[in-house]
Structure 1
Amino acid sequence: MIKQNSKTSFSLRKLTIIGVLGAISAILGMTPIGFIPVGPTNATIMHIPVIIGAILEGPVVGAMVGVIFGIFSIIRSITAPTVISPVFYNPLVSILPRVLIGITSYYTFITLKKAGKRLSTIVVTLVWSGVIVYLIRNFVIQLNSYNTNEIGLWQLVFSGLLIIITLLIGYFSYKKFKEQSIEVVLSAVVGTLTNTVGVLGMIYLLYGKWFVEKTGGNPEMVGKTILGVAIANGIPEAIVGMLIVTSVVIGIKRTDKR
C-alpha cells in the first residue's frame, strides 16, 4: 500500500509539473513575453519550460511539455497568422521537434554527468567562450550602428547588460554549483538547438522553396537562406536559454537540498 501511494504521489507530481510548465509555455507562445530582443533578432524562450521539465523530471515530462508547446504553436499559427503560418499546421513541424527537445536535453544532462567533470568543464568553457565572443562582436556592431543613428540607445544598453549578465551567471553558477551547472548549461544549448534545427530542418524538407519565397528570399538558395535563419535565431536563443535554464534549475536544486 505504501509503495502504491508513493507511486501515485510521484505520478501526480509529474502531472502537476507537466501542467504548470505546459501552461507557462502556452502563455509565452500566445503573448509577446515569449520573445526577447537580442541584438538584431528576437530570441524565443517558449522552449525553455520543456528543457527545465526534462532536466528536473526526466524525458517523459519534457516530451509531454513539448507536446503542449507544439499544440499551442499550431493554435497561435491559426489565431495570429503570418505569411509562413501554414507550415506550422503540420505536426511534423510544430510538434515533433518540440517533443525531441525534452529527450535530447535530458540525455545530454545524463551523459555529461557520467562523462566526468573534466570533460564537461572543457566543453562548457568552450561554449561559454563562444557565447561571450558572439555577444561582444554583436555589441561592437551595434555600437557602430548607434554612432550612425541606426539603432536606439536602449538596444545598445541591452546588449551591454547581456554581456555582463552572461559573465556573472557563468562565474557564479560555476563557482557555487560546479558539479551541476556544467551539465545544465550544455543541456540548455542542446535543447535549444534541437528546437531550431528540428523546426527549420522539417521546413526545409517539406516546404523549403515555398518558405523562402514567402519570406522574400531567393528560391534558388533554399539551403543557404534557411541556414541563415537558423544561425540568426539559434545563437541568441541558445544564449538566452543558457542564462534562464541555468538560473532556474540550479535555483530549484539548491532549494530542494535545504
Structure 2
Amino acid sequence: MKKKNKTFRLALLGMFSAIIVLQTTIPLLGLIPIGPLSLTVIQVTVIIAAIVLGPRDGAIIGGVWGIITFVRAYTFPTSPIAPIIFTNPLISVLPRILIGIVAGYIYHKALKSKMNDTGAMSIAGVAGSLTNTVLVLGLIYLFYSKPYANYMEMDVSLLLPALLGIVGTNGVTEAILSGILVPIIAKPLLKAQK
C-alpha cells in the first residue's frame, strides 16, 4: 500500500509540474488579461498542490514555477523588466516556494480541523496568493529601489506607490480568484486521492 501511495504522489507531482510548465509557456493559461490587469493564476496550481499533497510538495511545485521564472528571465523574458528583476532567485524562486509552504500549513495545520473544507481551502488560497504578491513586490522594492535607481540615475519616489497600486489591483484580485478557484478544484482532487 505504501508503494501505491508513493507512486500516486509522484504521479501528482509530475502532473502539477507539467501544468506549471504549460501555464508558464502557453499564453493565456497562466495569465488572464482583464482590461488593464493581467492576473496570474499559476499560484492556484501551487496552492492546490499544497492542499492535496501537503506543504512540502507544495513547496516543490512552487519551486518548479520559481525555477522556470528564473530561467525564463535569462532566456525568454516575459517583460522588459524580467531580466532585471527575476534573475535574482530571492525574487523569482523563494516567494513561489513559500506559497506552497504557507498555503499547505494554513490548510493542514491551522484550519483543516477547525472549520469546513471549503472555508479552509479558500483562506489557504487567499493566503498563498498574497504570500506571492507581497514577497515578490516587497523584495523588488527592497533590492531594486535604491541600488538600481542610483545606477540608472532614476527617480524612484513613485516606485512604492506603483508597487502598492499593483498590490491593490492585481494582488487583491488574484487573492480573491485563488480563494474561489482553489476549493472548486482541490475538493474533487482530495476525494479522488481517498
In the TM superposition, 1:181-192 aligns within 5 A as 181-192=118-129
What SS does the aligned partner of 1:25 have? helix
Distance 1:206 1:188, change over 3 A: same
Q: Could you tell me which residue of structure 1 aligns to residue 95 of structure 2?
A: 97
Q: 50-59 vs 38-47, which deviates more?
A: 38-47
Q: Aligned match of 1:11 in 6, 12, 37?
A: 6
Cα displacement (A) at 1:39: 4.7
Q: Which amino acid in structure 2 is aligned with residue 112 of structure 1? A: L
Q: Could you tell me which residue of structure 2 aligns to residue 112 of structure 1?
A: 111
Q: Could you tell me which residue of structure 2 aligns to residue 69 of structure 1?
A: 65
Q: Could you tell me which residue of structure 1 aligns to residue 48 of structure 2?
A: 52
What SS does the aligned partner of 2:38 have? strand
Q: CA RMSD in A?
A: 2.2
Larger radius of gyration: 1
Answering whether residue 160 of structure 2 is matched by residue 223 of structure 1, we say yes
Q: Check the 8 A contact 1:22/1:65 in 2, yes or no.
A: yes
Separation (CA, whole Å) in 1 of partners of 2:89 and 2:46: 17
Aligned length: 187
Separation (CA, whole Å) in 1 of partners of 2:155 and 2:6: 50
Separation (CA, whole Å) in 1 of partners of 2:20 and 2:85: 20
In the TM superposition, 1:100-179 aligns within 5 A as 100-110=98-108, 111-114=110-113, 116-117=114-115, 179=116
Cα displacement (A) at 1:235: 1.3
Q: Aligned match of 1:27 in 17, 22, 25?
A: 22
Separation (CA, whole Å) in 1 of partners of 2:36 and 2:159: 22
Q: Aligned residues: percent identity?
A: 36
What SS does the aligned partner of 1:224 have? helix
Q: Which string of whole-angstrom CA distances, capped at 9 and with x for unpartnered residues, describes residues 59-108 of structure 1?
A: 11100001100011123223332321121111101110001001100111
Separation (CA, whole Å) in 2 of partners of 1:36 and 1:206: 28
Cα displacement (A) at 1:238: 1.3
Separation (CA, whole Å) in 1 of partners of 2:172 and 2:155: 23
Cα displacement (A) at 1:256: 4.9
Return the TM-score normalized by structure 2.
Answer: 0.86
Separation (CA, whole Å) in 1 of partners of 2:57 and 2:134: 21
Q: Which amino acid in structure 2 is aligned with residue 96 of structure 1? A: L
In proportion to residue count, which structure has more helix? 1
Q: Which string of whole-angstrom CA distances, capped at 9 and with x for unpartnered residues, describes residues 142-173 of structure 1?
A: xxxxxxxxxxxxxxxxxxxxxxxxxxxxxxxx
Return the TM-score normalized by structure 1.
Answer: 0.66
Q: Check the 8 A contact 1:63/1:103 in 2, yes or no.
A: yes
Q: Could you tell me which residue of structure 2 aligns to residue 244 of structure 1?
A: 181
Cα displacement (A) at 1:242: 2.1
Q: Which amino acid in structure 2 is aligned with residue 83 of structure 1? A: P
Q: Check the 8 A contact 1:69/1:95 in 2, yes or no.
A: yes
Q: Could you tell me which residue of structure 2 aligns to residue 149 of structure 1?
A: none
Q: Which runs of 5+ in 2 are unaligned?
A: none
Q: 46-55 vs 33-42, which deviates more?
A: 33-42
Distance 1:204 1:246, change over 3 A: same
What SS does the aligned partner of 1:20 have? helix
